[in-house]
Structure 1
Amino acid sequence: MGFSFARALAILNAEFRTGTVYLALYTSNPTASDTGTEVTGGGYARQVIPFSAPAVEGGKQSIKNNVLIQFPVATADWGTITHIAIRSAVTGGTMTSFGALTSPRTIMQGDRFVIEVDSGVVRLV
């Protein structure tokens, strides 16, 4: 069963736009149980991800990152980033959503992981 546009809008605003949320990078699927492997060390730090107001796209209520998200330059190899998650705190906290990257990316020392504006999308039916 899906959500009405009005309810999806309320959920997206409440979960992702009323406070600060953080983007985390994973080298394995975090799963709904929050059991994946988040990147650690090598200068890695979760980044704040601000979202635009919800809008209906492709029949789904959606939000997108409204600024460029740049992680620090890796000071050691981070591995292959396969998934991302949104978390409630800069460390620890609750994972609120997760997903696989369309194109996994290997981050080596000296690389920087970037999410372009409007590329980080959360959708509810």
Structure 2
Amino acid sequence: MSAFSDYLENTLINATLRGANYTGGGVYVALFTADPTDAGTGAELNDSAYVRQRAHTSTPSDGFTVPANGSSSNARNMVFPAIVDAQKTITHWGVFDAQNAGNLLYHAPMQNPKTLDPTDVLSFPIGSLIVTLS
């Protein structure tokens, strides 16, 4: 089960109940070594080779599947570069609207936290990152 960030909760309330516009942004998947929390205060992976991965190829809408029953999943393989600095344990993942900085939109714990040693590559096959709204 994924969670909304505080930013997205407020943005959706403003858009659906108060007439504000929301155009979204990019769709980038991030890795965390601690729970990012709804406030986006958790520890994003810190490694000199790490970079958030763009979920989409040509338009933001092609990064995740068409929603069905309140769920959507990654529509392509997500492959992160090998870490290089030191062993890290990835406990959570999240979706941001920008490759750097930006706003956390969704976040979820890893079903099985993954400890990565230098040169290890973390990847998510199609359909393995699921955002569910309920």
User: Normalized against structure 1, the TM-score is what?
Assistant: 0.79
Number of aligned positions between the proteins: 106
How far residue 78 of structure 1 moved from its aligned partner, in angstroms, is: 4.9
Q: Which amino acid aligns with 2:94?
A: A
Instruction: Tell me if 1:28 matches 2:34.
Output: yes
Cα RMSD over matched residues?
Answer: 1.7
Whether the aligned pair in 2 keeps the contact of 1:42 and 1:77 (CA below 8 Å) is no
Query: Partners in 2 of 1:51 and 1:78 — Cα distance?
Result: 30
How far residue 42 of structure 1 moved from its aligned partner, in angstroms, is: 3.1
How far residue 35 of structure 1 moved from its aligned partner, in angstroms, is: 0.8
2:104 equivalent among 95, 100, 113: 95
Query: Partners in 1 of 2:34 and 2:107 — Cα distance?
Result: 11
Judging by fraction of residues, say which structure has more strand: 1
1:72 equivalent among 81, 96, 101: 81
Which consecutive unaligned segments of at least 5 residues does structure 1 have? 1-10
Which consecutive unaligned segments of at least 5 residues does structure 2 have? 1-15, 17-21, 56-62
How far residue 124 of structure 1 moved from its aligned partner, in angstroms, is: 1.2
Q: Secondary structure at the match of 1:24?
A: strand
Calculate percent identity across the aligned residue pairs. Answer: 31
